[in-house]
Amino acid sequence: MSIRDANVIILEVGRTVVRAGIGLHELLKTPSIEIPARVGLRRSTLLELAANGDEPTASTSRAPSLFPQTVTPKAAVKDYLVGAGLDEALASGQDVVVSWPFADGDVSDWTQAEAIWKYILFAQLQRRRVQNESPILFSITPGLARDTYERICQVFFERFNVAGFAILERPMAQMYAANSLSGVVVDIGDEVTDITPVYDAFVQHAPRTQVALGIRHCQAYLAHLLRANQSVMNALAPPGAAPAPAALHATLLELVQQLWLGDHIRVPSDGETAAAEDEGVTDIAAIVVAGKERAVIESGMKKKLNTKATVAEQARAREIEALDLITVQFRGHALTIGKERHRFCEPLFDPALLAGLPGAAALNPAAETPLPIQDVVGHVVTQTEVDQRQYIWQGLLVTGDITRHVKGIGVALQSRLASFIVNPDLVTELQPRSIRVLSVPEYYAEYRETGNGYATFLGSSIAAKIIFADPNGRNYVSKADYSYKGPHSIIETTPSLL
């Protein structure tokens, strides 16, 4: 590994999380740093700034959100708490105003953004500003203004003294991770799902859109379903000692979060479109490459034991499997959860289910029921050029933190999109005939158990190997380029902006 590879930093900036790692290894690694994309300002500091004539402003469009944005123009970088310092302040009960500067997909406050980036580079990755030899590949939400690109570039060169800088749009990085150049990326976030078509390594900005559906909506829905589970309600809200409705809802949300983060949820598809597993000859080479030797051996032993079991034992095993029950430990209780947990993602495909749920007003401040995610994806793809669609449909990639723990979302969405490619009245060579679900290949050993949740980071690492290995530096800004052309140099080295 060259010195340059060892110094390259991958910095992924999402709406609610920032990830980073240093070094490009032969075996690409997952991020070593992962923090919430938030900052905190002590109330006392905020009052001092207000006394000096600096009134903070809040984003009214996100008022009910868990990710508020408070802009304080005169606050300095040093005033903000980030990462561990913010976590400790909140845990100790300090009065801190929390803000999420990237929650709307753009940069709402540059000082807050700089505080986060500074914390990552100097506190977490131990870079030194005076001798900063690290080039940075920076991935961010697509569709930002050129002025935003230039200002980001300016911050990293003038405030952090980086050795080189390049920007990559998140959907393009995600497609690289799935080993494809065309497709549609469905990035499921906490409150918003971004849907972006990509064709021939270029993000199609005009049809790109977002829908106000995300993990919070799924959590609220399953929390509502669990109210019908007597085992759960008897433990958490026993007769005569039931907590207040708001407290019970908060407790159920905590239980739901434990369930999906604990990998206890899968999503059944609406129709059988996934390829069936091969029966017969075992591909030993593929098993070894995928690191599944132990699983195959255990499966074989289980089959042998099952053949020896009595008919009654086999029938009982099938009965238990059909019930699909699990027992989880939660707040000192052993709770039995059934198949209702697999309905977690239903609001993504049918948002009308959210109507009347506790907290529904906060989940949907616009008071308009969003379209189902499959309808939005279908509409987005139909807005692309006709001759591009068959290639875009061959790359359906569902990403987001939810895919690290909940399996089957891509296949479930695939089956619901079938109506968008079946048109008996239009039969041409350009008509798409199938939809292919993409995922991160298993030969990325470090990413086998992470679903598509780290697709942006993986794709950025792949791109960085190519970008920073170019001796002519045509796809990144060097210090010499920045000294000569200034912030505008990032425009000339970013293909998506040309």
pLDDT exceeds cutoff 80 at 493 = yes
Q: Phi/psi of residue 137, each to 5°?
A: -100, 120
Query: In order of start, what are the domains of the chain with their CATH numbers?
Result: 3-178+444-497 (3.30.420.40), 214-267+309-367 (3.90.640.10)
Question: How would you label 321-338 residue by residue, b for 16+ Cβ within 10 Å and e otherwise?
Answer: eeeeeeebebeeeebebe
Task: State the pLDDT at residue 49.
Answer: 76
CB 26 within 8 A of CB 83: no
Give the pLDDT confidence of 5-16 residue by residue, as tens digits: 888 999 999 999
Kindly indicate the confidence band of residue 245, based on its pLDDT and cuts at 50, 70 and 90. confident
Higher-confidence residue of 368 and 188: namely: 188
State pTM to two decimals.
0.86
More confident call, 428 vs 72: 72
Q: Provide the pLDDT confidence category of residue 62 given band limits of 50, 70 and 90.
A: very low
pLDDT of the residue at 324: 81
Structure tokens at 267: 């999503």
* 3-class SS string, 209-225: EEECCCHHHHHHHHHHH
DSSP string, 102-128: TTTSS-S-HHHHHHHHHIIIIIIS---
Lowest mean pLDDT among 62-66, 130-134, 221-225, 477-481: 62-66
pLDDT at residue 60, as a whole number: 42
Mean pLDDT of the chain: 85
pLDDT 10s digits, 83-138: 999 999 999 999 999 999 999 999 999 999 999 999 999 999 999 988 888 999 99
In degrees, rounded to 5, the angle at the alpha carbon of residue 48 between the alpha carbons of residues 81 and 151 is 50
CA pseudo-torsion sign 14, 31, 83, 133: negative
Q: Which of 177-191, 240-254, 276-290 has the lowest mean pLDDT?
A: 276-290
What is the reported pLDDT for 65? 65
| Mean pLDDT within 311-338 | 79
At residue 152, the pLDDT reads 96
**Beta bridge partner(s), residue 185:** 196, 397
Of 205, 189, 143, the closest CA to residue 373 belongs to 189
Structure letter (DSSP) for residue 437: B
Phi, psi for 117 (deg, rounded to 5): -65, -40
